[in-house]
Amino acid sequence: MQELSVRHLLGIKDITPQDIQLIFETADNFKDVLNRPIKKVPSLRDITIANVFFENSTRTRLSFELAEKRLSADVINFSSSSSSVKKGETLLDTVNNILAMKVDMIVMRHSSPGAPHFLSRHINANIVNAGDGTHEHPTQALLDSFSIREKYGEVAGKRIVIIGDILHSRVALSNIFALQKLGAEVMVCGPITLLPKYIKELGVKVELDVRKALEWCDVANVLRIQLERQQMKYFPSLREYTLYYGIDKKMLDSLDKEITLMHPGPINRGVELSSDAADSHHSIILNQVENGVAIRMAVLYLLASKTA
């Protein structure tokens, strides 16, 4: 019998390679469940989970909610835009009020890096970080790595390039941690203004030329240009970004090897990826979405056995 080494999933940095493997093996079984005629198991029928989202989300929130319902958990949803947070309530008060309703687990997204870590020191419930500002997005990194494992059989030894807005991306940071823990080689590629100053200290390669990056890699994980996080100009225009860093089918076809395209979504079609590239046989973007539910089911199932 194996179990996770942590009570919360706050970030990939905090978990071990063995934890990741256990999550993957459990997700394999849940993927099987999701392909049955009846896609539901009663494992978490005595658990109540609150999805507390202080920031907009479509995909992650839907994926978590579906995972929770597939596990038969009771689910309550909270969004800050329509809550008492607007009236000045603190994060801790908001969450404690939710917990007073006998909630066992919190799935939280927040715009402040470290918000779930802060909560984990003050409350008893298990916490799953669904994205904290520009810091981490652990379940996205897990589903990305899981999708690579599904495609290639293993992640170790594979070359993965993360392309785009690395500076503002929690997906990039979590992916770097996860891929390195699983033995992959990681490169980041993007405009110099969108690369963090100390990125090399994470042990990743840095490339400014997208074509060279694509020639090097087995898998390209293309990130969205996050216009909502850019209060200043990091590049002259979207058109210029597309010209230098956009990937289209013509570019993929001109490579002397087959590579796999990934994207955490939502895609800015015609900016970081052209439609013909996003919809090509190179893309496993929809597999990532499907795997997201199985990975989140695995995370919730494994953490639920460690409820206080």
* Contact in structure between 21 and 178 (CB atoms under 8 Å): no
Q: Which of 3, 209, 228, 253 binds other proteins (CB under 8 A)?
A: 3
Q: Is 18 in the site for other proteins (CB under 8 A)?
A: no
Min separation Cβ 76 and other proteins, Å:
20
According to the binding rule CB under 8 A, does residue 188 interact with other proteins?
no
Residue 79 β-bridge partners? 53
Rounded Cα distance between 30 and 220, Å, is 26
Whether the CB-CB separation of 184 and 160 falls below 8 Å is answered with: yes
Cβ neighbours of residue 111 under 8 Å, at least 6 residues apart? Answer: 54, 55, 132, 133
| Least distance (Å) between residue 154 CB and other proteins | 18
Task: Give the number of residues in contact with other proteins, rule: CB under 8 A.
Answer: 24
The least distance separating other proteins from the CB of residue 60, rounded to whole angstroms, comes to 23
Q: Considering only residues 57 through 76, tell me which ones interact with other proteins, judged by CB under 8 A.
A: 71
Give min distance, CB of 252 to other proteins, in A: 35
SS3 164: coil
Name which position in 24, 26, 136, 150 contacts other proteins (CB under 8 A).
26
- Tell me: does residue 2 bind other proteins (CB under 8 A): yes
In contact, 234 and 275? CB cutoff 8 Å: no
* 40 binds other proteins, rule: CB under 8 A: yes
Instruction: Check the CA dihedral 257-284-252-183 and report its sign.
Output: negative
Residue with Cβ nearer other proteins (46 or 209) = 46
Of 26 and 221, CB closest to other proteins:
26
Structure tokens at 213: 């990056």
**Site residues (CB under 8 A) for other proteins, limited to 122-151:** none
Is the CB of 48 or the CB of 140 nearer to other proteins? 48
Sheet with 185-189: strands ordered across: 205-207, 185-189, 159-163, 219-222, 260-262
Which of these, 268, 200, 190, lies nearest to 234 by C-alpha position? 190
Q: Is 87 one of the binding residues for other proteins (CB under 8 A)?
A: no
Binding flag, residue 37, other proteins (CB under 8 A): yes
CB atoms < 10 A from the CB of 21, how many? 14
Choosing from 18, 32, 56, 239, the residue that interacts with other proteins (CB under 8 A) is 32
33 lines the binding site for other proteins (CB under 8 A): yes
In whole angstroms, what is the distance from residue 11 CA to residue 186 CA?
18
One-letter identity of residue 235: F
Closer by beta carbon to other proteins, 281 or else 306: 306
The yes or no reply on residue 301 touching other proteins (CB under 8 A) is yes
CB of 27 to other proteins, least distance (A): 10
For the record, the structure tokens of 187 come out as 């490169």
Is residue 304 within the footprint of other proteins (CB under 8 A)?
Answer: yes
State how far the Cα of 250 lies from the Cα of 203, in Å rounded to an integer. Answer: 31
Q: Output the smallest distance, CB 69 to other proteins, in A.
A: 14
8 A C-beta contact, residue 54 and residue 108: yes
- Interacting residues with other proteins (CB under 8 A): 1-3, 25-26, 28-29, 32-33, 36-38, 40-43, 46-47, 71, 301-302, 304-305, 307
